[in-house]
Amino acid sequence: MSGKSFYLETFGCQMNAHDSEKVIGTLEQQGYRQVESEEEADLLLYNTCSIRDKAEQKVFNRLNDYKRLARAGKRFGVIGCVAQQEGEKIFERAPYVSLVAGSASYRRLPELIERLEAGETRVTGLDDRQTEETFETEFTARKNPYRAYITIIEGCDKFCAYCVVPYTRGKERSRSSESVVEEARRIAGMGYTEIQLLGQNVNSYRDPIGKKSFAELLTAVAEVDGIRRVRFTTSHPRDFTRDIVEAIDAVPTLCDHVHLPVQSGSTRVLRQMAREYSREWYLERIAWMKAAKRRISISTDLIVGFPGETTAEFEETVTLLDEVQYDAVFAFKYSSRPNTPSLVMIDSIPEAEKSKRLQILLDRQREIQRLNYENHLGEKMEVMVEGYNPAREQVIGRSSQNKPVNFSWPHPIAPAPGSYQWVRVTRAFPNSLVGEAVTGEALTGQATAGMAAV
Ligand code: SF4
């Protein structure tokens, strides 16, 4: 490689986005400079996702689009889930690729990059599922100006029938609570007030040293000076315990929002998916949240068209929406994935039927959300500023329940990202709220700090 500039494109989930922040920090520590286009870069990196067929295809299309740059001596690296899943096969499919590294090997990135610099043409970092290592680094290039991420647990031991993650990210391994709280303090020191704890199954956290429970870790992070909001994602119903709800009720800094993927409303389909809980069991966890003192907003993930899902079983998923009244649903059509148990199941639901079921679900959920959001009309709520939309002359923000709130602002200078404002809700839409700033009512902490011209 002639120079030390790199381009990094990230596909997929929040875990991948935060991994990329750590990869960028590690490369910058090694003297590399991040550039915004493939043409400018000496090293082109793609942090990949293989959760669905389409996601994986995107990577190879991108590689194909830019293979012409290989002639100019540029190096290509595929990292993340497709790298771990496909391994050395990527070198055959795209011979101009010279680095293939799964997320479990990122702590070895400096060494892998040095081998590239030394001229090696087939460098791999493909740890097996048994690795105990976590990717802890003090070099994180935090790209979000108002929210900082901390990965507290990596990997997954759940082996849901349709999912590649246990094979691409290794077994569950948690960081010590001490290192997590220490990172939270560093983040607060950088001026952040909001932290999001990450994990494929964040509530499967098992403190290897301090023996703190997940709920205790949440509270410890929430008690860090300067931190005003703590979020966590993604939870698994099997490890969702009552003390998490009690912690949210007891600690105002813990956001009143829980993302609890259910995947299906049918107990038989859940069994086929190897989710290891029933509809009733799941609804008991929902009941804990509904009984909480705070109004906890709940969101979920759903799959339609899993092999063998009958119309009646799909109907059970629809009725689950009515029963739970989610504030947000991320729904997908089933697609079979390599190496997963469901690969051997006959993908019996025709694509057109999957699309029809998905639309029915989205339409029903949209109606539920419209009513849920209308419940906020007239309410005064604390909003964290995330940006400004000059075209609409609106401040972009988010409530502690993770609801988008956009509001008018009476001053020529917009509030800075990361600051907090009181907002009165004047209009409601299925996916967002609109309001006006309640001025003259001070908020404690950072409310009016760092104003910038609109
Ligand atoms: S819990 Fe299931 S769906 Fe979630 S990452 Fe693990 S295997 Fe995949």
Q: Is residue 355 domain-shared with residue 426, that is, in the same domain?
A: no
Residue 2 has a pLDDT of 59
Q: Is the pLDDT of residue 161 over 70?
A: yes
CATH code, domain carrying 83 = 3.40.50.12160
Structure confidence by residue, pLDDT tens digits, 104-149: 899 899 999 999 999 999 999 997 777 787 888 888 899 999 999 9
Residue 454 has a pLDDT of 38
Closest ligand 1 atom to the C-alpha of 163?
Answer: 8
Q: Which of 374, 399, 431 is the last residue of a domain?
A: 374
Give the separation between CA 333 and CA 319, rounded to whole angstroms. Answer: 18
What mean pLDDT is predicted for residues 368-376?
Answer: 98
CA of 86 relative to ligand 1 center, distance in Å: 19
Residue owning the nearest CA to atom 1 of ligand 1 = 158
Q: Is residue 336 domain-shared with residue 394, that is, in the same domain?
A: no
Strand partners, 8: 45
> Could you tell me if 77 and 100 are in contact, meaning their C-beta atoms sit under 8 angstroms apart?
yes
Q: Is the pLDDT of residue 447 over 50?
A: no
The strand ranges marked E within 276-419 are: 297-304, 328-333, 380-389, 394-399, 404-408, 413-414
Residue 442 has a pLDDT of 60
Closest ligand 1 atom to the C-alpha of 159?
Answer: 7
Residue 107 inside a domain? The answer is yes
Residue 105 inside a domain? The answer is yes
Q: Name the more confident of 53 and 428.
A: 428
Residue 195 inside a domain? The answer is yes
Q: Is residue 90 domain-shared with residue 37, that is, in the same domain?
A: yes
Q: Which of 323, 357, 374 is the last residue of a domain?
A: 374
For the Cβ of 15 lying below 6 angstroms from any atom of ligand 1, the answer is no
CA of 257 relative to ligand 1 center, distance in Å: 20
CA of 14 relative to ligand 1 center, distance in Å: 14
The residue range of the domain holding 395 is 380-443
Residue 132 inside a domain? The answer is no
> Among 70-84, 140-154, 371-385, which is the least confidently predicted range?
70-84
CA of 289 relative to ligand 1 center, distance in Å: 22
Q: Is the pLDDT of residue 408 over 50?
A: yes
Q: Is residue 362 domain-shared with residue 387, that is, in the same domain?
A: no
Closest ligand 1 atom to the C-alpha of 157?
Answer: 6
Q: Is residue 292 domain-shared with residue 220, that is, in the same domain?
A: yes
Q: Is residue 92 domain-shared with residue 175, that is, in the same domain?
A: no
Structure tokens at 227: 């931190």
Q: Name the more confident of 65 and 387.
A: 387
Q: Is the pLDDT of residue 53 over 60?
A: yes
Residue 362 inside a domain? The answer is yes
Q: Is residue 292 domain-shared with residue 172, that is, in the same domain?
A: yes
For the Cβ of 164 lying below 6 angstroms from any atom of ligand 1, the answer is no
Closest ligand 1 atom to the C-alpha of 169?
Answer: 5
The pLDDT mean for the chain works out to: 93
What mean pLDDT is predicted for residues 365-375?
Answer: 98
CATH code, domain carrying 318 = 3.80.30.20
Positive or negative, the Cα torsion across 6, 127, 52, 282? negative
The CA-based dihedral angle spanning residues 284, 161, 232, 221, taken in that order and rounded to the nearest 10 degrees: 100
CA of 442 relative to ligand 1 center, distance in Å: 43
Instruction: For residue 18, give the 3-state DSSP assignment.
Output: helix
Distance of CA 93 to the CA centre of its chain: 29
CA of 79 relative to ligand 1 center, distance in Å: 20
For the Cβ of 163 lying below 6 angstroms from any atom of ligand 1, the answer is yes
Q: Is residue 262 domain-shared with residue 411, that is, in the same domain?
A: no
For the Cβ of 405 lying below 6 angstroms from any atom of ligand 1, the answer is no
Total of domains in the chain:
3
When pLDDT is cut at 50, 70 and 90, the band that residue 448 belongs to is very low
> Among 15-29, 109-123, 336-350, 429-443, which is the least confidently predicted range?
429-443
For the Cβ of 200 lying below 6 angstroms from any atom of ligand 1, the answer is yes
CA of 273 relative to ligand 1 center, distance in Å: 10
The residues, ordered by sequence, that sit 6+ positions from 49 with a Cβ below 8 Å of its Cβ are 11, 12, 13, 16, 55, 56, 80, 81, 82
For the Cβ of 186 lying below 6 angstroms from any atom of ligand 1, the answer is no
State what percent of residues in the chain have pLDDT above 90. 82
H-assigned helices in 72-135: 81-86, 89-93, 109-117
Q: Which of 354, 374, 394 is the last residue of a domain?
A: 374
Give the separation between CA 416 and CA 452, rounded to whole angstroms. Answer: 6
Structure tokens at 157: 């031991």
Q: Is residue 364 domain-shared with residue 384, that is, in the same domain?
A: no
Residue 135 inside a domain? The answer is no
Residue 138 inside a domain? The answer is no
Q: Is the pLDDT of residue 372 over 90?
A: yes
Give the separation between CA 196 and CA 198, rounded to whole angstroms. Answer: 6
Q: Is residue 173 domain-shared with residue 314, that is, in the same domain?
A: yes
Q: Is residue 162 domain-shared with residue 299, that is, in the same domain?
A: yes
Structure confidence by residue, pLDDT tens digits, 225-277: 999 999 999 999 999 999 999 999 999 999 999 999 999 999 999 999 999 99
Residue 418 inside a domain? The answer is yes
For the Cβ of 160 lying below 6 angstroms from any atom of ligand 1, the answer is yes
CA of 263 relative to ligand 1 center, distance in Å: 10
State what percent of residues in the chain have pLDDT above 70. 96
CA of 201 relative to ligand 1 center, distance in Å: 7
Distances in whole angstroms, Cα of residue 333 to Cα of each of 59, 105, 326, 370, 445:
20, 31, 19, 23, 44
Q: Is the pLDDT of residue 446 over 70?
A: no
Q: Is residue 357 domain-shared with residue 390, that is, in the same domain?
A: no
For the Cβ of 303 lying below 6 angstroms from any atom of ligand 1, the answer is no
Q: Name the more confident of 265 and 1.
A: 265
Residue 133 has a pLDDT of 79
